[in-house]
Amino acid sequence: MRTTDETLASLPAPDTRRWVSSRKQAVVLAVRTGTLSMTEACDRYGLSVEEFLSWDALFSRGGRRALRVTKLREFRAAGP
């Protein structure tokens, strides 16, 4: 079983500036599993609540593929 420190160490670095889909997914899953709260994730990564919620919604609708920047318009245009 992994400890919280090991889990946090496996997350993207707090100073991450380039957000590829795998990093976004890791943050969304950390919040969903309770490793981080949404507030902690937003503070740690300098995200707005709206940005995090958009990642979470996109991930719910299309998985990691939906988090790709090149697919963002396609998934947003599809609507709920």
Question: According to the model, what pLDDT value does residue 60 have?
Answer: 96
Instruction: Kindly tell me if the per-residue pLDDT of 71 is higher than 60.
Output: no
Least reliable range by pLDDT among 31-40, 46-55, 68-77: 68-77
When pLDDT is cut at 50, 70 and 90, the band that residue 79 belongs to is: low
Q: Is 15 left (phi over 0), alpha (psi -120 to 50) or beta?
A: alpha
The domain segmentation of the chain, as residue ranges, is: 29-80
Question: According to the model, what pLDDT value does residue 1 have?
Answer: 44
Of the candidates 65, 64, 60, 63, which has an alpha carbon nearest to the alpha carbon of residue 80?
Answer: 60
Q: What is the percent of the chain where pLDDT is above 70? A: 79
C-alpha to C-alpha distance for 43 and 30, rounded to whole angstroms: 14
